[in-house]
Amino acid sequence: MSKAPEHDPAQDRPDVRSPRHHAVGLPAVANSIRVVGAQAGAKRGLPLLRDVNQTGGFDCPGCAWPEPGHRHPAEFCENGAKAVAEEGTRRRVDPDFFTAHAVTDLAEKSGYWLGQQGRLTQPLHLAEHATHYEPITWDDAFALIAAELADLDTPDAAAFYTSGRTSNEAAFLYQLFARRLGTNNLPDCSNMCHESSGSALAETIGIGKGSVTLDDLYQADLIIVAGQNPGTNHPRMLTALEKAKHAGARIATVNPLPEAGMQRFKNPQTARGLAGRGTDLTDLFLQIKVGGDLALFSILNRMILRAAATDPAAVDRDFIDTHTHGFAAFAAHHGADDPDGDAAALADAVERTGIPAAEIERLLAMVLAADKIVVCWAMGLTQHQHAVPTIREVVAFLLLRGNIGRPGAGVCPVRGHSNVQGDRTMGIWERMPDRFLDALGTEFDFAPPRDHGLDTVGTIRAMRDGRVRVFFAMGGNFVAATPDTAATEAAMRGCRLTVHVSTKLNRSHAVTGARALILPALGRTDVDAPGGREQFVTVEDSMGIVHASRGSVPPLSPGMRSEIAIVAGLARAVLGPDDTVPWEEFALDYDLIRDRIERVVPGFADYNARARVPGGFSLPHAPRDGRVFPTATGKANFTVNPVTSPEAGPGRLLLQTLRSHDQFNTTIYGLDDRYRGIHHGRRVVLVNPEDAAALGLADGAFCDLVSEWSDGDRRAPHFRIVHYPTARGCAAAYFPETNVLVPLDSVAETSNTPTSKSIVVRFEPDSGEPGGAARS
Ligand SMILES: Nc1nc2c(c(=O)[nH]1)N[C@H]1C(S)=C(S)[C@@H](COP(=O)(O)OP(=O)(O)OC[C@H]3O[C@@H](n4cnc5c(=O)[nH]c(N)nc54)[C@H](O)[C@@H]3O)O[C@H]1N2
Ligand SMILES: Nc1nc2c(c(=O)[nH]1)N[C@H]1C(S)=C(S)[C@@H](COP(=O)(O)OP(=O)(O)OC[C@H]3O[C@@H](n4cnc5c(=O)[nH]c(N)nc54)[C@H](O)[C@@H]3O)O[C@H]1N2
Ligand code: SF4
Ligand SMILES: [Mo]
């Protein structure tokens, strides 16, 4: 068991220095080596750092940013190293740990403390009314789940969640199992993440994925990075931006925060980056109010249309006529024939975005000067009530000048988890289209359920209402990652059985149904050799490249199983000996799974051969490859999106909940957020000094955050106020601590994504330190 100290709330004592203006450089390199050494030791650490992101090695378990074709010997970033260290650790949680810690005790611990204990090493069972988890055999665990599932009135009373680290092969088997059982209840982390991107892109261009490759970024004239903090969350994207910059691209950044990574990048792979000044990335920084992006892209679109009145080349008329639908209505909506409305529209945009008119005009000039434009975005755009219209408007912005389906241009939603995109491709979605279900049914000779299943928010509501009784999670940390913590935890506690397939201990193991199971899984870094024959899995990155991943260190315990073996064992126990799917064979030879995927999922022809090619292969993308738009109209769709933006009201601010530099979602690596100058603590709220003055919030003082919603207030106690140069009217604080403030019913239209980036909060006097997990 680990020697990590018990979490002492006194450790969460934020200490604040000036924010940085550059990212990476030497401190990041030193930190990478230090964290891997500390967690994994030299014997495991060396192969881990040697193999991460190398062809023949394993895919970094961090984010979904792609690897370049030509690999550098150290093709990882500081946060990739932290992700590797977290999983590749030699610390282990053994049975004596669970003898020493009752579940109520674990529920009092912070997420940070839980994660620091080490890898889970054997299956555990929390019996009804028991106080402690106890070891259980794999067979007994599967039998227990089978009995609970058999007891349900309908398979739809079970839900099967997925977090985005699951390999293609495991994900494919998992959705097959759920559908053979008879349910489409396949909520996933994507429901809280890029669902808004998927919804908007599927409607407008016919495929819910980004349309660019790394080469497109390198060739772009203008890259707009909106609502994304790559310096922390996709650090090697900075390398790509630097390369684009050196090739002549200009970069505009749209963000309420001046994030260090987008300012200056000190590339650790170059001497200039390590010892020199680094590269200035952002040419134009637009400090936007939270939720102002629809207004920004709307006014840009209006101005482009206006420019076209005098210079027809301002829009790509050929592309619009040949490849798009809905342009006339779009142009009318933007007052293409109403120059008199321009001043009012601009004033409205300035008001909603907080960006001065002169800066909007500078961006317009950059747009009109650029032949090839890429727009990159992440959670700053997707987690708002109007996220889907915002992204539709971004697509319209690109369509206007023909910026989709040619080199150097396109949409780039930057994905979060390392295989979240692949999981979707494999069928992890509660609403898979009929053509997928048809192919799945034909291949495995059954009739998959057709009714749409539950997404993440739907699952929480169904657990709350007693409609879902068994909750099964393939990875993730459901109760900490989802909104409305109190409501979600109550819903989880109402289940008959909760099961978590996990690598590390987390809050969701301490907030359980009447009975609970923890099933310890192998991760990316672990060698996976079922029956003594080493296997590899495949993943798909944010740009649709599928490639192999092979673990590099021996598993810490024979008690762990691969996710594939877990699904196969479960499926056999639940579906019985007569089930015709050869689950046992799949679990021994992953080529057999890939053969089936090839027959069900388009784009995987010759999968087993192409997965073995170093660097993998690219999935087809009709808009990118041939300007073919498989939408309802058969063309790329312009859409009409009435301008809206969130308003906080007097005495309130709009709170966005975001990631520190020292976390991966609910996994807390440490208590620092180096680039933002925050150290030794996470319960901080960043407030613009002028807002702080107006609200009487002194820097260094503590307060409660209270969110307001139609069903009442929600409170997060004891946050230290930090005066910080965020946009006026906005505040920022870390998740998961602030998830308690996100109302369950506050979701994006169409995508149902929680609105984690725009929560109306007021500030109240400090009610004192929270206990237990609320500390995180
Ligand atoms: N190290 C590390 N890497 C990660 C993760 C992690 O937790 N840690 N998480 C992974 C996952 S699952 C995901 S989805 C991605 C998330 O990657 P990001 O989306 O970069 O993550 P967030 O921290 O949520 O940051 C959102 C950014 O959007 C800005 N923003 C907030 N509201 C608005 C707005 O209304 N408009 C605009 N224009 N900007 C806004 C914030 O200031 C912030 O810079 O990262 C992935 N990679
Ligand atoms: N307020 C607020 N809430 C948010 C967000 C936000 O910006 N603000 N972001 C949302 C986003 S973008 C996302 S993606 C979700 C993330 O939601 P989740 O994906 O549910 O959460 P994670 O923290 O990534 O899950 C971490 C856990 O996964 C397990 N794990 C790690 N690797 C593996 C593996 O290889 N196999 C298995 N079986 N288990 C593994 C470990 O036990 C670890 O504790 O959170 C969302 N929640
Ligand atoms: S950019 Fe993302 S995938 Fe690449 S090494 Fe860093 S965390 Fe890992
Ligand atoms: Mo995400």
Question: Do 681 and 776 form a contact (C-beta atoms < 8 A)?
Answer: no
Closest ligand 2 atom to residue 500 Cα is: 38
Q: Is there an atom of ligand 3 within 6 Å of 735 CB?
A: no
Question: Do 196 and 387 form a contact (C-beta atoms < 8 A)?
Answer: yes
Q: Is there an atom of ligand 3 within 6 Å of 664 CB?
A: no
Q: What is the pLDDT of residues 446-500, one digit of tens each?
A: 999 999 999 999 999 999 999 999 999 999 999 999 999 999 999 999 999 999 9
Q: What is the pLDDT of residues 511-524, one digit of tens each?
A: 999 999 999 999 99
Q: Which ligand is closest in space to the CA of residue 542?
A: 3
Assign 4 a pLDDT band (cuts: 50, 70, 90).
very low
Q: Which ligand is closest in space to the CA of residue 62?
A: 3
3-state SS record for 259-286? CHHHHEEECCCCHHHHHCCCEECCCEEE
Name the token pair of 162: 């997925």
For each of the domains in the chain, give its residue range(s) and CATH number, in order of start: 117-129+145-193+419-526+561-616 (3.40.50.740), 195-413 (3.40.228.10), 653-774 (2.40.40.20)
Assign 577 a pLDDT band (cuts: 50, 70, 90).
very high
Q: Is there an atom of ligand 3 within 6 Å of 76 CB?
A: yes
What average pLDDT does the segment 397-405 reach? Answer: 98
Q: How far is CA 580 from the centre of its chain?
A: 35
Query: Between 68 and 659, whose confidence is greater?
Result: 659
Q: How far is CA 167 from CA 56, 115, 536, 547, in A?
A: 16, 22, 10, 11
What average pLDDT does the segment 576-597 reach? Answer: 98
Please report the pLDDT score of residue 233 as a whole number: 97
Q: How far is CA 350 from CA 99, 298, 301, 341, 480, in A?
A: 60, 12, 15, 14, 36
Query: Over 50: is that where the pLDDT of 695 sits?
Result: yes
Question: Do 721 and 698 form a contact (C-beta atoms < 8 A)?
Answer: yes
Residue 350's nearest CA partner among 341, 335, 338, 361 is: 361
Torsion region of 324: left, alpha or beta (phi above 0 gives left; psi -120 to 50 gives alpha): beta
Q: Where are the beta strands (DSSP E) in 680-775?
A: 684-687, 702-709, 712-723, 730-734, 759-765
pTM: 0.97
- DSSP result, 595-654: HHHHHHSTT-TTHHHHHTSTT-EEPP-HHHHHS---STTSSEEP-----------TT-EE
Q: What is the pLDDT of residues 245-264, one digit of tens each?
A: 999 999 999 999 999 989 98
Please report the pLDDT score of residue 7 as a whole number: 40
What average pLDDT does the segment 732-751 reach? Answer: 98
Distance CA 202, CA 395 (A): 11
Query: Over 70: is that where the pLDDT of 331 sits?
Result: yes
Cross-strand pairs, 651: none
Distance CA 685, CA 348 (A): 28
Torsion region of 333: left, alpha or beta (phi above 0 gives left; psi -120 to 50 gives alpha): alpha
Q: What is the pLDDT of residues 677-690, one digit of tens each?
A: 999 999 999 999 99
Distance CA 431, CA 184 (A): 7
Give 260 Cα–ligand 4 centroid separation in angstroms. 21
Please report the pLDDT score of residue 72 as a whole number: 82
Q: How far is CA 603 from the centre of its chain?
A: 24
**Quick one: what percent of the chain has pLDDT higher than 70?**
97
Give 156 Cα–ligand 2 centroid separation in angstroms. 24
Query: Over 60: is that where the pLDDT of 168 sits?
Result: yes
Assign 69 a pLDDT band (cuts: 50, 70, 90).
confident
Angle at 416 between CA 112 and CA 552, to 5 degrees: 70
**Quick one: what percent of the chain has pLDDT higher than 90?**
90
Q: Is there an atom of ligand 3 within 6 Å of 80 CB?
A: yes
Query: Over 80: is that where the pLDDT of 775 sits?
Result: no
Question: Do 556 and 94 form a contact (C-beta atoms < 8 A)?
Answer: no
The DSSP element (H or E) to which 16 belongs, if any, is: strand 15-16
Please report the pLDDT score of residue 773 as a whole number: 54
Q: What is the pLDDT of residues 521-540, one digit of tens each?
A: 999 999 999 999 999 999 99
Q: What is the pLDDT of residues 264-296, one digit of tens each?
A: 888 887 766 767 778 899 999 999 999 999 999
Distance CA 406, CA 624 (A): 7
Give 416 Cα–ligand 4 centroid separation in angstroms. 4
Choosing from 377, 666, 746 the residue with most ligand 2 atoms within 8 A of its CB, the one to mutate for a pocket test is 666
Query: Over 80: is that where the pLDDT of 608 sits?
Result: yes
Please report the pLDDT score of residue 75 as a whole number: 83
Please report the pLDDT score of residue 6 as a whole number: 37
Q: What is the pLDDT of residues 74-85, one digit of tens each?
A: 888 999 999 999
Please report the pLDDT score of residue 3 as a whole number: 32
Please report the pLDDT score of residue 774 as a whole number: 58
